Structure 1
Amino acid sequence: MTLYIILIVIFLCFACWYDGWWISSLTEEEGKDLYKALSGQRVEDQPKTTVNPNAVDLFARTDNGKAFYMLNLIKDKKDLESKDMGALESIDRNYAKVVFPLLFKHGCHPVLVSKPLTTFSQPATEEEWDAIFIIRYRSRRDLYKIVTNPEFQKAWEFKLASIQNTTVIPSIPVLQGVNLKWIVGLILILIGWVST
């Protein structure tokens, strides 16, 4: 019985952290600050942004404090393809060293990282992406904390040198697939079953 109580407490603690039970919604001022971070206004000499201020404002104002998913479609600069690929790999590694620890720290993680094939639709020129990322964010406040972090801003400035275009689409889960919280729960159930 003691073991089961310990396992239940472990699961509840993980669920509390993973779902962010204590996290509050973004304020109006934080929404404005989020736009500045996403649009690169914190970075000197940043080119004109394509981030829609109205979309970011709506994103912040409709914050329900719950998890969401971010679809990232990335197109690399073609003039870099003929250059030293080792340099591009170094950019990606340095970016990952900063971003992934920040994601995990805030209960966020990649759901899918893939390289797309050619699209079935026509015309498909605008859809020829080089990478697809789907990131699970614990909350909009966690996204805010990550992108306003000075370390992220420096890493993103470095990463921009290799990107020609990126489309970012936040989405609210309607029907979720595999959830890390329930995977942890099943592992704890298995531990309890094996231990009895």
Structure 2
Amino acid sequence: MTLPIWVTAVLCYMLFWLWYARPRRKITLQEADDFLAWATSQGVEPERASGLRDFFAKDDGRDFVMVNLIKLKSPARESGAQLAAYQKIFLGQLLRKAGHPILVARRSGANIEHVNCEQHSDWAAMGAIRYRSRRDLLEILPATLGSEHHQLKLDAVASTIAFPASQWFMLGGPKLAAALATLLLACVAELLI
């Protein structure tokens, strides 16, 4: 009676893993060049478009984190509401591709250190967003740049910096949580049956 429970548990976790963690097909140089052409045609600044093209061309098929630093426009309450409306749409799209925030924080004090940079960079918040792959970002950007929901973000932020970070580490996270939840449910099912 317990074998079906554990087989089901393993299959459920495998399905989760296939959605969340499976390596994606790497972006080809042609796809990276096609993105550059598209971004340029959409009016994306040449340096930014070229940086994205290079990031896509060096695809390793693995997940990465986009680190965002944000300064909101005044009044912060209205800008925060606009940013939240943007995030609801964007993060909904990202979640379908197993992307999600891993860290979000608001500023709680003055700059502690600034070396060779602007002393008065008043970043109000930061976020680190996990993407399953560079391909997912490549697929999301055309639906985002120039969209109505992206305009909500542009209307909300006074300034922002976003950069990708690879070879990142997080103790715990959804892979571990899903494994533990599956294990717990299987144990409870075994006790009840």
How much is the aligned-residue C-alpha RMSD, in angstroms? 2.7
Gaps of 5+ in 1: none
Asked whether the equivalents of residues 34 and 147 of structure 1 are also in contact (C-alpha less than 8 Å), the reply is: no
* 2:56 equivalent to 1:60: yes
Counterpart of 1:105?
96
Asked whether the equivalents of residues 11 and 184 of structure 1 are also in contact (C-alpha less than 8 Å), the reply is: yes
Asked whether the equivalents of residues 94 and 155 of structure 1 are also in contact (C-alpha less than 8 Å), the reply is: yes
Q: Call closer, same or farther: CA 1:141–1:50 in 2, change over 3 Å.
A: same
**How far is the alpha carbon of 1:177 from its aligned partner?**
2.1
Counterpart of 2:65?
69
Q: Call closer, same or farther: CA 1:172–1:186 in 2, change over 3 Å.
A: same
* 2:23 equivalent to 1:14: no
Pairing 1:179-190 to 2, within 5 Å after superposition: 179-190=173-184
Q: Call closer, same or farther: CA 1:149–1:16 in 2, change over 3 Å.
A: same
Q: Call closer, same or farther: CA 1:50–1:90 in 2, change over 3 Å.
A: farther
Percent identity (aligned): 23
Give the alignment's TM-score, normalised by structure 2: 0.82
Q: Distance in 2 between matches of 1:152 and 1:194?
A: 49
**How far is the alpha carbon of 1:34 from its aligned partner?**
4.4
Gaps of 5+ in 2: none
**Can you list the C-alpha shifts for 1:112-139, whole angstroms capped at 9, x where unaligned?**
1111232211466354201101000000
Q: How many residues align?
A: 185
Q: Distance in 2 between matches of 1:157 and 1:41?
A: 18
Give the alignment's TM-score, normalised by structure 1: 0.81
Asked whether the equivalents of residues 112 and 133 of structure 1 are also in contact (C-alpha less than 8 Å), the reply is: yes
